[in-house]
Structures are given as C-alpha cells and as structure tokens.
C-alpha cells in the first residue's frame, strides 16, 4: 500500500511539474512576444521617420536637378551671346577722352 501511494504521489508530482513547466513556458513566451512586438513598433516608427527624410531628400534632389538644367541653359545662352559680340567702334577722340576720364582719379583738373 505504501508503494502504491508513493507511485501515485510520484505520478501526481510529475503531472503537476509538467503543468507548472507549461504555465512557466507560456509566461516566458508571452514576455518574449511582448518584447518582440515592442521592437517591431520601434522599427516601424524609425521606418516612418526615415521615409520622411528620404522624401525630403528626393525633393531637394529634384530641385537641384532643375537648377542645374536652368544653369546649363543660361550658360548656353551666354556662350552664344559671347560668340556673337560685335564690338562698338569708337572714334579715337572719344576713346582718348574716355581713358583720360578714367585715369584722372584724385588729380585736379587743369582748368
């Protein structure tokens, strides 16, 4: 009779130990799941922030491309204008007077 009680006690103890392990394992898994969910939420927030930054960078890149195209067009028009410059020929008297006017800085006139 004592041996039967010992066997029953061992069987009940083993069953209770299995149940305790299962509940402990469930609790441990729930903690893991909650930590993983928190990490996923943090990653999603970081993704949203980075997507906003990439959109801003794309807008800036497009603006710079447009500025480059406008600058290239300006350069082309200026080069065309440079090639087509026709110098205005001044008479010698006006050229001499122009040079004298520019070089009389700080001198008094001889009037």
What are the pLDDT digits (tens) for 16-55? 898 888 888 888 888 888 999 999 999 999 999 999 999 9
The verdict on pTM exceeding 0.85 is: no
Joined tokens for residue 92: 């010698």
Contacts (Cβ under 8 Å, ≥6 apart) of 90: 98
Query: How much is the CA Rg of the chain, to the nearest whole Å?
Result: 45
108 domain residue, yes or no? no
The whole domain housing 6 covers 2-82
Q: How many domains does the chain have?
A: 1
93 domain residue, yes or no? no
Q: CA distances (Å), 67 to each of 53, 55, 56, 61, 71, in order?
A: 21, 18, 17, 10, 6
90 domain residue, yes or no? no
Q: How many residues does the chain have?
A: 111
101 domain residue, yes or no? no
65 domain residue, yes or no? yes
22 domain residue, yes or no? yes
111 domain residue, yes or no? no
């Amino acid at each position: 009779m004592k041996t039967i009680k010992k066997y029953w006690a061992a069987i009940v103890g083993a069953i209770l130990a299995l149940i305790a392990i299962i509940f402990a394992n469930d609790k441990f898994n729930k903690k893991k799941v909650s930590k993983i969910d928190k990490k996923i939420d943090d990653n999603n927030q970081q993704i949203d922030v980075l997507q906003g930054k990439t959109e801003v960078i794309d807008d800036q890149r497009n603006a710079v491309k447009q500025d480059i195209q406008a600058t290239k067009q300006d350069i082309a028009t200026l080069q065309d204008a440079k090639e087509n410059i026709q110098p205005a020929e001044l008479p010698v008297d006006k050229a001499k007077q122009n040079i004298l006017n520019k070089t009389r800085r700080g001198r008094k006139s001889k009037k």
